[in-house]
Structure 1
Amino acid sequence: MGLKDLLRNTQNDILEQNEELLEDYNLINTFGSPNKLFLKFLNSKNLKIDEDIITEELIAEFQDSVDSINLKLEKIKKQKETIFKERKVWINIPSNDDEWVGTDLLLDHDGITIKETNEKILYSQMDEIEILDGGWSKKKVLIKLEDRDLIFAINEDLATPLKEILEDNIDNESYDEIDGLLELYSLFEEGKISEEELEIRKAVIYSDDVYCTNCGHKLDSDSLFCPECGHQILFDDI
C-alpha cells in the first residue's frame, strides 16, 4: 500500500508529517510510496516511517550517503576505463620465499596473464572472485579456479574495478569486450571519433542489446536479417 493510500485510512500524525517532508525532498514516487533507497537507509537506522519522525537532518544524512555512493561508483567507472585502456594492472604476487614480487597482470579477451610467471588463466577456469583485506592501502584479490585458488595483492582503488572487469568477462566469454574497448579508445585518441561517440559506442558494448555488426542498427532478439541494411545475422553475431 502506498503512503498516500495508507494516510487515507489512518489518523497517524507522524505519517502525515513525514509525507509532507518527503514530498518536499522528492522522496515519494508516483505511486505515493517512499523512495526504496531511503527506506533501506531508515532500516539501517532501525527507524520506521510510520513510527518515527523524519527530520531534515536525517534526509541530509541520507543524501550525503547517496552522494558518497555515486562518487564511489564514478571513481570505479574511471578506474575500469583506465584498466581497459592500459590493458594491464600492477599487482604483487607471493614468491617461493614468502615475499611479494611486483608484476603486471595482463588482460586479454579470453583470460589474464601474470607477466612474472607467464601463467595464463582463462576466464572459463574462474569460478568466483573475492576481495580480501590486504592492509597498507592494499587489497587481496582471490580468484577461485577449478583446481586451486589464485591470490594477489593490488592497490585498493583498483581492486573493485578489476573484479568487475573479470566478472564481466567471465559472463561474456564469447564476446571480445576488452579488444572492443581498446579499439574505441584508439579511434578516439586518433581523433576519428568524438568523445560523445566514444560514450555511445561504449554503452553499446556494455549493453545486452543486439546490434547489427555491419551497420550498428539495433536488432530484435529473433532477427535473421538487419531491417536497415539487410545484413544476415549469424549466430556468432548474437
Structure 2
Amino acid sequence: MGRVNGKVAIITGGARGMGAAHARLLESEGARVVIADILEQEGQALATEIGDHAKFVRLDVTNAADWENVVSETESTFGHVNVLVNNAGITMNKSIEKISEEEYRKIVDINQVSVFLGMKTVAPAMKKQNGGSIINISSINGLVGGAIGYTDTKFAVRGMTKAAALELSPYGIRVNSVHPGVIETPMIAQEDSKDAIKEFSKHIPNRRVAKPEEVSNLVLYLASEESSYSTGAEFVIDGGLTAQ
C-alpha cells in the first residue's frame, strides 16, 4: 500500500477497460485520480465507486480546450498534477483499401494527437513542481506491424514519448511508453475485431489474453518513484509475443 501516496493522476479513457483498472489501482495505492473520458455515465459511476479520492471530468481527448479544463479541474480539486496516463485509444480492423480518410483521421486524432495535446497541456503544470511522470499507452503494434491506422499511431506514440522524454528530462519529468499485447478490454470485443483477436491469441507464448490489472501494475510502477531513473523507455507487456 501507499506506493503513490499523495500523487494526483489524470487517466484518459478512464471510464472502463484498462483505464478503469489503472484508476482503481492507483487510488488503492494512495493517489487521487481524475477519470477523464467522454463516457459520462460510466465515468461518473466509477468515480462514485472509488470514492472521495476520485473525480470524473468529461474530456474529448482531441480537443485542446477540454484538456485545459481537465488540468484546471484537477488542480482545483486535488492539487498539482503528478501523473498523466494517456490511455484513450481506438482501433479499426479495416484494410488500407477499405478504410476511409475520415475513419483514418479519427484514429490519428484519438490515438496520436490526443497524446500530443495531453503532454503539451500537463508539461507546464508539472514544471511548476519540478517533476512528474507521463505514461503513454502504446501497443505492441508500436513495435511490430498490425492494422493500418492503429499501427501507425502507436508507432507515433512511441516516437513522441522519446522526443518528449528528452525535452522534459531537465525539469524532472519522466516520459515512458507501455506496449501491451492482447488485453481483455471492450476494444477487443468489437464486432470487427473479436474473431481476429480470438485467433491471434492462440499464438501467444503465455497461451492467454492478459487482464487489464496486469497492465495496471506496470502503470503503477511508472507512476511511482520506484521508476525514478526510467525515461524515454519502452515497457512491453505482451505474454512473449514480440519475443518470437
Please, what TM-score do these two structures have when normalized by structure 2?
0.20
Q: Judging by fraction of residues, say which structure has more strand.
A: 1
Q: Judging by fraction of residues, say which structure has more helix.
A: 2
Please, what TM-score do these two structures have when normalized by structure 1?
0.20
Look at both structures and tell me which one has the larger radius of gyration over its CA atoms.
1
